[in-house]
Amino acid sequence: EVQLVESGGGLVQPGRSLRLSCAASGFTFDDYAMHWVRQAPGKGLEWVSGISWNSGSIGYADSVKGRFTISRDNAKNSLYLQMNSLRAEDTALYYCAKGDSSSWYEDSWFDPWGQGTLVTVSS
Amino acid sequence: EIVMTQSPATLSVSPGERATLSCRASQSVSSNLAWYQQKPGQAPRLLIYGASTRATGIPARFSGSGSGTEFTLTISSLQSEDFAVYYCQQYNNWPTFGQGTKLEIK
């Protein structure tokens, strides 16, 4: 069974940093692109970032470009999101999701999703 | 950025009836469209990809159609477990989602 388990969320002050992790199991991790998708409280879904199987290609939403960095460690079956210069509008549940191809920009539908980790940016 | 617009925002349907949800793209996305179902407190679940291909384990009462800019998700006979929020997502370009349609019991 494919499983994605996020961790690292919490309450953080504006301008500070946080690093999210996603532990993957049940599939060959380094065969697939991985993504982060977020959902602000009571709101819809927003794609944040995607990374290809070998980290050779990465994409970001304009809203996080220059502040967030996605990475992966295939030896550890893990995905990460380093979030710097956090803002109140970054408050959301952050989901880790598996893509359906090795490239983040191809066949980039998301299946499955983890249960999410909540990030709250507030002073 | 490709903007996805879903309609209606809320749809009230009785169990056993058919539900039709719409999704429109601001420019052509070919057939690069997915549908998700999200229940309260749960992560989204993939229903449809490639505009019309059901994901593994998805019941046949769910069907998707359309291409280009106009797409439809049809649930042929609503079951109690189908009342949820549904999102469309295009992946022809940087992925973007619609704002969601809440399917509620009439």
Q: Convert the pLDDT of each residue in A19-65 to its tens digit.
A: 999 999 999 999 999 999 999 999 999 999 999 999 999 999 999 99
A1 — contact with chain B (CB < 8 Å)?
no
B38/B95 Cα distance (integer angstroms): 18
Which residues from A are below 8 Å from B44, CB to CB?
45, 95, 110, 113
| Chain B residues close to A44, C-beta within 8 Å | 87, 97-100
Residue A99 in contact with partner chain B when CB distance is under 8 A? no
| Residues of B with Cβ-Cβ distance to A111 under 8 angstroms | 46, 49, 55
* Mean pLDDT over each residue of chain B, to the nearest integer: 97
pLDDT of the residue at A8: 98
Averaged pLDDT for residues A71-84: 98
Interface of B with A (CB under 8 A): 1, 34, 36, 42-46, 49, 55, 87, 89, 91, 94-100
Reading phi first (left if > 0) and then psi (alpha if -120 to 50, else beta), residue B16 is in left
CATH of the domain spanning B4-105, picked from 2.170.8.10, 3.40.50.300, 3.10.580.10, 2.60.40.10: 2.60.40.10
pLDDT in the model for residue A107:
87
Span B36-47, average pLDDT = 98
Q: Is B99 within 8 Å of A47 when comparing Cβ atoms? A: no
For A98, the token pair is 């598996």
Domain borders along chain B are 4-105
How far from the centroid of its chain's Cα atoms is residue B70's Cα?
Answer: 12
The Cα–Cα gap between B11 and A55 comes to 41
Cα distances from B34 to residues B8, B28, B49, B101, in angstroms, run 18, 14, 4, 14
pLDDT band at A106 (very low <50, low <70, confident <90, very high): confident
Q: How confident is the model at residue B65 (pLDDT cuts 50, 70, 90)?
A: very high
Rounded to whole angstroms, how far apart are CA atoms B106 and B97? 26
In this predicted structure, the answer to whether residue B93 has a pLDDT above a threshold of 90 is: no
Determine the pLDDT at residue B91. 96
Mutate which: B30, B73, B91, vs A, most A CBs within 10 A: B91
Amino acid identity for residue A61 in this structure: A
Q: Is A68 left (phi over 0), alpha (psi -120 to 50) or beta?
A: beta
CB B82 within 8 A of CB B75: yes
Q: What share of chain A is helix, strand, coil (3-state, %, to 5)?
A: 5, 45, 45
Q: What pLDDT is attached to residue B27?
A: 97
Percent of chain B scored above 70 by pLDDT? 100
Residue A39's closest chain B neighbor by CA?
A: B43
Which of A45, A62, A100 comes nearest B44 by C-beta?
Answer: A45
Contact (CB, 8 A) for A22 and A71: no
Give the full edge-to-edge strand order of the sheet including A68-73. Answer: A3-7, A18-25, A78-83, A68-73
Q: Are B54 and B46 in contact (CB under 8 A)?
A: no
pLDDT at B24 over 90: yes
3-class DSSP state of A6: strand
Residue B20 reports pLDDT greater than 90: yes
User: Which stretch of A23-32, A43-52, A98-107, B73-82 has the lowest confidence by average pLDDT?
Assistant: A98-107
Q: How far is CA A81 from the centre of its chain?
A: 6
